[in-house]
Amino acid sequence: MGMFVAADADIWRFQAHPEVWLIVAVVAGFGWWVTRVLGPKAVPAGQEVVSRQNVLCFAAAVVLLWLVSDWPMHDISEEYLYAAHMVQHLLITLVVPLLFLLATPEWLARLIVSPDGSVGVWVRRLTRPVAAAVLFNLMVALTHLTWVVNTSIENGVFHYFVHLSVFLAALLMWMPVASPLPELRAGYPGQMLFLFLNSVLPTVPGGFLTFAETPLYRVYDHEVRLWGVSAVDDQQAAGLIMKLAGGFFIWTVIAILFFRWVRSQSENWRPGDNAPVLTYEAVTSAFDDAGDPVAEQTPL
C-alpha cells in the first residue's frame, strides 16, 4: 500500500476550528435557554426545573464534547493517529451521550419525545433494546470500513455526518439504560444483559484491527509519525483501545447497575415482611376452633 503523504510535518501547530466552537456554543446556549426560559414556563411553580445532577452532567458533557472535538485532539485523531481517533469515537459514543441523557430532566424529555408526535413515535420504536442495539452496532461496524474512514478524513462534510450519525445512534443505544423517561428504561436485569451484549459485539471490529498486519487506512499510512508509532502499531493500538477501554467502561456501568439492583431488592424486601405474627390470642383461638379432642379407639 502506498504511503499517504498529505499530513503536515508540523504536528503540534495550532489549528482553529470555529465550526466546533459554534456547535459547543449552540449546545451550551440551548442548555441556558432550557434552564432560564423554557423551564420556568413548562414546570409548575414550586417544582425544580433542573437538578444538581442535571447541571453537573450537562457541564461535563459540554466540556468533554469540546475537548474531543477541538485542537489538539481533533487534529491528532484526524491526521496522525487512528488510536487517538478511536479514543475520540469512544468518548463520543459511550460517555458524552450518557452524560447528556443524565442531564435531561424528565419534563424536557416529554416535550421532545411526545407520544403524539412523529419524533416520539420513532424514538419509542428505535429505543427498544433490540432495535437500539442493532442500529448502534451497525453504525459502529460501518464507521470502521476502509472507505468510510478514508472518506471521512478527506471530506469535512462527510466527517461531521459520520460523527453525528454515530452520536445519535449512541443516544438511542443508551436510552434503555439511562432514558429520562422511566417507561423507556428496561429493568436492572434487562439493562445489564443489554449492555453485556453491546460490550461483546464491538470485539469483532476491534479484533480485526488488532490482528491486522498491514495498514488498512491509507489516510493514516504516511511518513509523518507521531511519537514514532508505526501505522500498523497505531492500528493495533486502536483495536485494543476499542476492545479493552470500551469494554471496561461498559462493564463499569454494569457493575453500578448491579449494585443498584441489589440495593433496590434489599430495600423492597425485609425478612418476615409477609409472615403472619404469631400471638397468644391466635394460638388459643386456633385451639378453640379445633373443638374437643377425639378419643382414641382401640382396634379390635
pLDDT digits (tens, 9 = 90+) for 67-85: 999 999 989 988 889 999 9
Distance CA 29, CA 21 (A): 12
**Largest CA-CA distance found in the chain, in angstroms, rounded:** 114
Around 84, how many Cα atoms within 13 Å sit in the side-chain half-sphere? Answer: 21
Please tell me which residue, 300 or 163, carries the higher pLDDT value. 163
The label of the residue with cell 385451639 reads 287
Can you give the pLDDT at residue 248?
A: 93
Q: What is the pLDDT of residues 180-206, one digit of tens each?
A: 999 999 999 999 999 999 888 777 777
Instruction: Collect all residues with Cβ–Cβ distance below 8 Å to 156 and sequence separation of at least 6.
Output: none
Nearest to 162 by CA among 177, 172, 149: 149
CA 268 to centroid of chain Cα atoms: 28
Total residue length of the chain: 300
Nearest to 91 by CA among 68, 75, 119, 122: 68
DSSP code, position 144: T
pLDDT for 285 beyond 70: no
Could you give the C-alpha distances from 263 to 180, 190, 191, in angstroms and in order? 21, 16, 16
State pTM to two decimals: 0.83
pLDDT for 110 beyond 80: yes
Q: What is the pLDDT of residues 237-266, one digit of tens each?
A: 999 999 899 999 999 999 999 999 999 888
Under a CB-based contact definition with an 8 Å cutoff, are residues 92 and 231 in contact? no
Distance CA 139, CA 136 (A): 5
Q: At what angle do helices 146-154 and 156-178 cross, to 10 degrees?
A: 120
The residue type found at 265 is: Q
Can you give the pLDDT at residue 5?
A: 42
The label of the residue with cell 478514508 reads 150
Distance CA 166, CA 137 (A): 10
